[in-house]
Amino acid sequence: MSESATGRAHDAVLRHIEDSLRSGELKLGDRLPGERALAEQFGISRASVRDAIRSLEVMGVVRSATGSGPNSGTIVVSDPSSALGVALRMHVASHHLPVKDVVEARIMMETWSLEHAASAAWSPEQLDDARRLLEAMDDDALPSQVFTLLDSQFHVALSTLAGNVVVSTMMESMREAIRGYIDDAVERRGGWAEAVDTLRAQHRGIFEAVEARDGERSARLVREHIEWFYGQAI
């Protein structure tokens, strides 16, 4: 099969999966037909089917597992932040997407999220994830890499309060895209013991403003926090 024919076969499988998801014929948790069945359905090679399935895995649409049992086969999932994170990370690594621009986009989305969270319909219990992460970061024995992981999860947890799934997904993907750069920068610069105390105080202030539903203050504090941190680290 020529390269162009292989590409058309690959695209046909992807379009079929997309149409099936859109129509509701396929839903989260459903299992795709096997390679042989899909190959026969489309009149293409099993290799073309495998290429299409790999593409869907990279996009976070399906998960494949070998063997037998309820978790085997190719199952429809939804993990868009992982797929977007991989794509962003690669483009950041290629220097096509400067870290500075990613940070500016993060500030825009996070300030928007915290401003809108002030009037969103969330309950006090929905702050529990952010509160647990805040308390976990108080551990003086945490390595900087673990702290920055908890830090990014804390910000994502707060952003979800605005109720916009797309913004939360983008926040998650951006943290994945640049976390390695942040860890490297923190290690190069040193002075972590002093910086971590400032970060904890800033996190507390942001959390308290969000809890009080003070959108203007929480947005201002998170902007100052992000700009200060990246000014120190990058």
Question: pLDDT band for position 69 (50/70/90)?
Answer: low
What is 81-233's CATH topology?
A: Four Helix Bundle (Hemerythrin (Met), subunit A) (1.20.120)
pLDDT value for 147: 92
CATH architecture of 3-76: Orthogonal Bundle (1.10)
Task: State mean pLDDT over 167-183.
Answer: 81
Phi/psi at 203 (5° precision): -60, -45
* pTM for the predicted model, two decimal places: 0.75
Q: What is the mean pLDDT of the chain?
A: 85
| Confidence grade of residue 119 (pLDDT, cut at 50, 70, 90) | very high
pLDDT at 3 over 60: no
Identify which has the larger pLDDT, 173 or 216.
216
Q: Which pLDDT band holds residue 116 (cuts at 50, 70, 90)?
A: very high
* Residue spans per domain, the chain: 3-76, 81-233
